[in-house]
Amino acid sequence: MMKSGMDQEIFAQVRSKVWALLARGVAHSRDPMHCVSLATDSVQGCQVRTVILRGADEKERTLTCFSDARAAKVGEIRENGHVQWLFYHPRKQIQLRISGPAAVHTDDRVADACWAQVKGFSRLNYCTEHPPGTPIDQPSSGLPARLVRQLSHLMHSDAGRSNFVAIVGIVDSIDWLRLSKTGNIRARFQWDNDRVKSFWVVP
């Protein structure tokens, strides 16, 4: 179905606002878009968890989050190579489902640049003795006693660098939904290389 010039203008405005929302989510820790549900595929089925949005690049069409290299999601992404990101902004009543392939960066310039963004106590997350998800006898941060005594040092060291990865997803599809009492509106954007196909869909 042919889209009118007005439709194309509206689609362009929606895409621009989507990237503005994502950029704000990266920059502001209390913004609703700062925390995102990341879904991966595994042999047990779909796996979903909350991650922090660390990067949103409209020009490169990428989203970035960080992870412990030993986490299950890293292996799932390496195995299947496709993820979906789910965002919701309660005040604006906007839901975003963003899909595409993802890559895990470990020992490269992307990972090094991302590691430089990890400051203070956040670096402790990558210093646990055992991988995330390992069963333990009682609630614990996972840091061994010998490291707990070195917290001030760990916060400023590269001790956790070997367990750190950056996950960078390519945005191939955006499903945009705006909820409203007067009627919900939904649009979908799909990219083929640098060409985008935009169309309205039933909410």
Rounded Cα distance, 11 and 156, in Å: 45
Helices (H), 1-48: 5-27
Beta bridge partners of 195: 192
Q: Is residue 123 part of a domain?
A: no
Position 198 scores a pLDDT of: 96
Percent of the chain with pLDDT strictly greater than 70: 97
For 33-66, b where at least 16 C-beta lie within 10 A, e where not — what string?
Answer: bbebebbbbeeeeeeeeebebbbbeeeebbbbbb
Q: Report the pLDDT averaged over residues 135-148.
A: 82
Percent of the chain with pLDDT strictly greater than 90: 76
Compute the C-alpha angle 104/19/49, nearest 5°: 45
Nearest to 21 by CA among 85, 83, 89: 89
Position 3 scores a pLDDT of: 60
Q: Which domain holds residue 55?
A: 5-118+164-201
Nearest to 111 by CA among 55, 58, 153, 73: 55
Q: Is residue 182 part of a domain?
A: yes
**pLDDT, mean over the chain:** 93
6-10, 133-137, 142-146, 197-201: the lowest-pLDDT one? 142-146
Q: Is residue 102 part of a domain?
A: yes
Rounded Cα distance, 98 and 53, in Å: 13
Q: Report the pLDDT averaged over residues 7-14.
A: 94
Domain tally for the chain? 1
Examine the pLDDT at 43 and tell me if it is beyond 70: yes
Q: Report the pLDDT averaged over residues 50-62.
A: 98
Q: Is residue 16 part of a domain?
A: yes
Q: Is residue 127 part of a domain?
A: no
Rounded Cα distance, 85 and 36, in Å: 7
The CATH number of residue 101's host domain is: 2.30.110.10
Q: Is residue 95 part of a domain?
A: yes
- What are the residues whose beta carbons fall under 8 Å from the beta carbon of 158, sequence distance 6 or more? 115
Residue 149: which pLDDT band, with cuts at 50, 70 and 90?
confident
Predicted structure pTM score: 0.92
Rounded Cα distance, 69 and 78, in Å: 11
